[in-house]
Amino acid sequence: MNTELREDAMYILQNITKAELNAYAANSTAKALNERIKKDGVYIEKGNADAAATFTKTQGTLSKNTNSNDYVSISNEAMELSKSEKEPNIEFSLTKIGENRFRIGFANSAMLHRAVKQGFLEIEGKQVELTDDIKSELLSSEREITRRREIIGMKNMMMQMAAQNRQTSDAMAAENAKMSRVMKTASRIMHGRKVSPADEKELMEFNHELYEMAKIAATLEKARKNKKDDEEDEKISRENDAARDYENTPKDYSVEPIEMPKLETDMEVSFDGDTASVSEIGISDIE
């Protein structure tokens, strides 16, 4: 702590370095340091040495306790209240099915588990206690719904995989058929047989070198060509055209998934005055 003495008063400066003090002394109009003095300075009248000593002692005590902690005690009830306020309300469907009789439905698994954890429900201001047996039945019904949905999900996945396998199998079969077709086309060309422009184009695109070899060999077989061969070649070309048309026709490999059932865990609640009784715990379709 540094001090600066003047004739009419004494200022005790806190949190200021010697360099800052020297700069202030050299330049009394320094705005930043002047504001620092106003903020951290303490004014003590001239001659009041006791006040200066008291202030110094107090500040020393405070500095020793700067690392001390303050504690606030919060009751368990307050903590539970704060926790409950942060949790969303339990949502369920409520249908009146008679005098003082209701059907409660849980379409949301998370809500059912929250109700089981809470241990009770409120219906029109009346509390319905969920005993251990009731909780067990509710959870059992919820597990059954989950099981049914998992089965349908597995079936949908298997149908999708089967469709993908069919697509892959068809693609491989088409490629093998094309290879067999172009090899036969090459052989027919080599033996001077009649080949359609579509067959020639397919061979040329598949393997240009094989096509050139077949054309060279064909020149040696021209003399042996006859009408019967032409008829057979035309038949083969028609079959090849039909095969190509089938291969180029878009295929639909999509599958229609099985719709997930709309189910909920439900139970009936009846009141005799303020006393509630639970029955008919099970699974129902949601309309």
pLDDT one digit per residue (tens) for the chain, 287 residues: 444 444 444 455 556 666 666 665 666 555 665 666 555 555 555 566 666 666 565 555 545 554 544 444 555 655 555 555 455 688 899 999 999 999 999 998 999 999 999 999 999 889 999 999 999 999 999 999 999 999 999 999 999 999 999 999 999 999 999 999 999 999 989 888 889 999 999 999 999 999 999 998 887 776 565 666 777 888 888 999 999 998 889 988 898 999 998 999 999 999 998 899 999 999 998 87
Count structural domains, the chain. 2
228 inside domain: yes
Choosing from 20, 48, 64, the residue where a domain stops is 64
The range of the structural domain enclosing residue 175 comes to 162-248
Choosing from 39, 64, 89, the residue where a domain stops is 64
pLDDT at 88: 62
109 inside domain: no
56 inside domain: yes
24 inside domain: yes
117 inside domain: no
**Stated pTM of the model:** 0.54
143 inside domain: no
155 inside domain: no
SS (H, E, C) the chain: CEEEECCCEEEEECCCCHHHHHHHHHCCCCHHHHHHHHHHCEEEECCCHHHHHHHHHHHHHHHHCCCCCCCCCCCHHHHHHHHHHHCCCCCCEEEEEECCEEEEEECCHHHHHHHHHHCEEEECCEEEECCHHHHHHHHHHHHHHHHHHHHHHHHHHHHHHHHHHHHHHHHHHHHHHHHHHHHHHHHHHHCCCCCCHHHHHHHHHHCHHHHHHHHHHHCCCHHHCCHHHHHHHHHHHHHHHHHHHHHHCCCCCCCCCCCCCCEEEEEEEEEECCEEEEEEEEEEECC
233 inside domain: yes
